[in-house]
């Protein structure tokens, strides 16, 4: 819908953003027998506009959500966060660059059931007026310390054992403009 609106409102509509959201859920049972669960919507990159570059590591289509602080995750759930950072360079190139997504890596300390639903995993968010696509998102899963990481599709339901590590990369936003955009001709001649 935004791509169609861009034709009518070329000076207002931004390039595509990271998509609806990257949904990560996991749950299981603690050694005490108590059950736990976690559901987060992970942010990505916003698309650039004719005026400014896109914002990085932000919720673009799902609002009123915030990330859970690492200290809370690690103190209340059997999980270890290996990294949580901006995914530098994932925003699409252009006169105004798309915002960057995030990279989050975590290790499960007990067996878990994991759910994953995300957009823009095959093709990154489109750019406009010569701007390039943002990088697509992906989820990598390594089931044990010596195992090779496997890339999972945009929807998955997995049973993972203790020691499994996942790495989420959320999409960057699309870029806007491929070269310096000309100012409108004022009609004045010098």
- Write the CA distances from 95 to 47, 113, 128, 132, integer angstroms: 12, 43, 10, 10
| Position 146 confidence tier, pLDDT thresholds 50, 70, 90 | confident
The conformation of residue 28, written as its DSSP 8-state character, comes to E
The 10s digit of each residue's pLDDT in 41-97 is 999 999 999 999 999 999 887 666 677 889 999 999 999 999 999 999 999 999 999
- Per-residue pLDDT at 19 exceeds 90: no
Euclidean distance between CA atoms 86 and 104, whole angstroms: 9
Report phi then psi at 2, rounded to 5: -65, -35
- Per-residue pLDDT at 182 exceeds 60: no
| Position 2 confidence tier, pLDDT thresholds 50, 70, 90 | low
Q: What is the mean pLDDT of the chain?
A: 89
Euclidean distance between CA atoms 54 and 166, whole angstroms: 27
Percentage of the chain surpassing pLDDT 90?
75
């Amino acid at each position: 819908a935004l791509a169609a609106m861009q034709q009518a409102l070329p000076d207002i509509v931004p390039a595509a953003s990271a998509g609806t959201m990257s949904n990560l859920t996991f749950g299981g049972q603690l050694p005490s027998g108590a059950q736990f669960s976690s559901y987060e919507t992970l942010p990505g990159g916003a698309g650039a506009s004719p005026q400014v570059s896109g914002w990085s590591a932000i919720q673009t289509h799902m609002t009123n959500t915030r990330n859970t602080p690492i200290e809370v995750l690690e103190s209340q759930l059997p999980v270890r966060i290996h990294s949580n950072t901006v995914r530098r360079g994932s925003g699409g190139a252009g006169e105004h660059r798309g915002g960057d997504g995030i990279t989050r890596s975590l290790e499960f300390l007990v067996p878990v059931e994991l759910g994953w639903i995300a957009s823009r995993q095959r093709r990154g968010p489109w750019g406009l007026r010569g701007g390039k696509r943002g990088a697509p998102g992906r989820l990598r899963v390594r089931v044990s310390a010596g195992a090779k990481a496997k890339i999972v599709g945009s929807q998955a339901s997995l049973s993972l054992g203790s020691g499994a590590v996942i790495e989420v990369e959320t999409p960057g936003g699309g870029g806007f403009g491929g070269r310096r955009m000309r100012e409108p001709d004022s009609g004045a001649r010098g």
